[in-house]
Amino acid sequence: MRGEEYADQKNIREEIRKAAQKEFLLHGYEAASMRVIAKKANTTLGNIYHYFPNKEAILSEILEEPLEKLSKLVEGHLELQVKAYTMDELLDALKEMNDLSNYEEFQYVLDERLLILFELRTTRFIEAREAFVKKFKNHMAWHLNMEDSDSPYIDILTSTFISCIRHVLLEHKDSEDAQKEFIKVFKMLCTGLAVNAEKL
C-alpha cells in the first residue's frame, strides 16, 4: 500500500471515530445511528463497515485509551493503600491542591469519553466500568476505615464522585476550566468525607 493511500485510510478511520464519539456523547451509544455517523464523517455506511465490522468496534477504539488510563489510575493510586492518612493530613493536602499537574492520576478522569462509558447500558464495557467502580468503592471504604464497601454510604459517595466528574466534563469544555472546577468539587467532596468520617 502506498504511503498516500495509507494516510487517506487513516484519515477516514479517524473521521469515523470522531463522528461516532460526538454521536455517542450526544445521543448515547445505544441510540446513536450508524447512518448519521457516516453522514457526519462524510462517508458512506458501507465504507464504515470497511473500517469497522460493527458499532461496538468503533466504541472499542474510542474507549481503549480512557480504559487504559483508568487502569493506570487503579495501579498508581487506588491500589497503593500503604498509608492511612489522618483527617488533619488529608485536609492539609487538600489545601495544597491548586494545580492538577502534580496529580497525574486525576488527569485521567477528565476525559469526556468517560461520559460515554458512564452511560452505557449494553456491551462488554459495562463489566470494565463496574470493575473500576468496585475498586473505587473498596478504596473509599479503606480511606474511611469501613469494612463494608457495599454499604449505602459508600454507594452514595461513589455516585457523588461520578456525578462530580460528569458535571465537570459536561459544563467545562476548556481543559483549564475543567481542572479548576474538578479541584473545587473534589475538595468539597473530600472535606465532607473527612468531617463525616470523624463522626463515624
> What pLDDT, in 10s, does the model give residues 48-104?
999 999 999 999 999 999 999 888 877 766 655 555 556 566 666 666 666 655 556
Taking the alpha carbons at both ends of the chain, their separation in whole angstroms is: 65
Q: Identify whether the C-beta of residue 161 lies closer than 8 Å to the C-beta of residue 136.
A: yes
Domain locations along the chain: 1-53, 63-199
> What pLDDT, in 10s, does the model give residues 161-174?
888 888 888 888 77
Q: Mark residue 28 as left, alpha or beta (left: phi above 0; alpha: psi -120 to 50; beta: remaining).
A: left
- pTM exceeds cut of 0.85: no
Pick among 1.10.101, 3.40.50, 2.60.40, 1.10.357: CATH of 63-199: 1.10.357
> What pLDDT, in 10s, does the model give residues 120-132?
998 899 998 998 8
CATH 1.10.10 fits 1-53, yes or no: yes
